[in-house]
A = this chain, B = another copy of it.
Amino acid sequence: MIETDELLSIRAAELYYEENKTQDEIGGVLRLTRWKVGRLLAQAKANGFIRIEIVHPRARRLPVERRLRDATGLTDAIVVSTAGVSGDDELQSRTAQAAADYLTSLRPIPRTLGISWGRTLHDVSVHLAPGWASGVNVVQINGGVSLNKRPGTAATTAVTIAQKAGGAATLLPSPAILERLETKRAIESDRAVAAVLEMASGASAFLYSAGQADENSAHVDSGYLHPDQVTELVRKGAVGDIVGRYIDSNGNIVDPALDERTVGIRLDQLRAATTAIAVISGRSKHPVARAIVGSGLCTVLVTDEDTANAILDDSP
């Protein structure tokens, strides 16, 4: 009889959801009372036979967001749906859009926003609507000006975000990683740089993304690291980088010597922040995402459904 009931619940669901019949009408067709039909329908839902999907680029997955918040202690989680997504680019774009939306609705409005740079952050800047806020000053929180392939993208990102909020952008005029420790110390003590770093430390909110640790890393692309160096970092346990610093799956610095030569705010500063928004999407970034969330490097995560599920599968 349990078998029969399951089949009946499917027949009822077909009539209810696909033919838009009322439960009473279905009762007529299947020779059941309308209460029985209601129960069958409830059963079909409970068994997971009814799948409802919201197919839209801006759709979010609220239940996943909640589970993420509950499981990880994040202040907030934004999870975009992957339903109907065509490729990695679209996923990235959806996530960036969601980050832009989140930033726009963020209260209190940050007076100073510290940002990193990269493909993702650039996308976010593009998706922000002009006038998304007013009087927000933007400051870069890690180095990396000149060596980029397309020089100036890092700067453009910061400037765009600031401009659209009617605020000023403060750039960090320093490479991401220096070759010698002394040079790094020297540049850090330079007035221009020190002032920016101080401003960055005092930002009321941070927005950053993460890079994977492999030959496609932005650091390799822009010449700060040699592919072999990345391989070596991976061997030591690196899963990716945030604000230029390579971390392992526990969120710890992988190579302290290298890290010492990296210009930008430190991870403990990020951990201490009231609002640190990480924007991460794509299969290849699941490991970094896990590390970041697991070690409290962000208070807010903006990501895609798959990444969120990867984190959830991991944590309990």
Mark A residues whose CB is within 8 Å of B.
Answer: 6-7, 10, 13-15, 17-19, 44, 48-56, 58-63, 83
Give chain B residues whose Cβ lies under 8 Å from the Cβ of A7. 58
Task: State whether A61 and B18 are in contact (beta carbons under 8 Å apart), knowing that A50-B52, A52-B51 are contacts in the complex.
Answer: yes
Give chain B residues whose Cβ lies under 8 Å from the Cβ of A54. 10, 13-14, 17-18, 44, 49-51
Cα distance, A48 to B56, chains bound together (Å): 9
Q: Quick one: copies of this chain in the complex? A: 2
Listed by A's residue number, 24 A-B pairs whose Cβ atoms lie within 8 Å are A6-B56, A7-B58, A10-B56, A13-B59, A14-B54, A14-B59, A14-B60, A14-B62, A15-B62, A18-B54, A18-B61, A19-B63, A48-B55, A49-B55, A49-B59, A50-B53, A51-B52, A51-B53, A51-B54, A51-B55, A51-B83, A52-B52, A52-B53, A53-B53
Given contacts A7-B58, A15-B62, A44-B54, 18 further A-B contacts (CB under 8 A): A10-B54, A10-B56, A10-B58, A13-B59, A14-B54, A14-B59, A14-B60, A17-B52, A17-B54, A18-B62, A19-B62, A19-B63, A48-B55, A50-B52, A51-B53, A51-B55, A51-B83, A52-B52
Give chain B residues whose Cβ lies under 8 Å from the Cβ of A19. 62-63
Cβ of A70 to closest chain B Cβ, rounded Å = 14
Cβ of A213 to closest chain B Cβ, rounded Å = 34
Cα distance, A49 to B84, chains bound together (Å): 10
Q: Which residue of the partner chain, among B10, B56, B62, B63, contacts A49 with CB atoms under 8 Å?
A: B56
Cβ of A60 to closest chain B Cβ, rounded Å = 6
Give chain B residues whose Cβ lies under 8 Å from the Cβ of A44. 54
Cα distance, A62 to B15, chains bound together (Å): 8
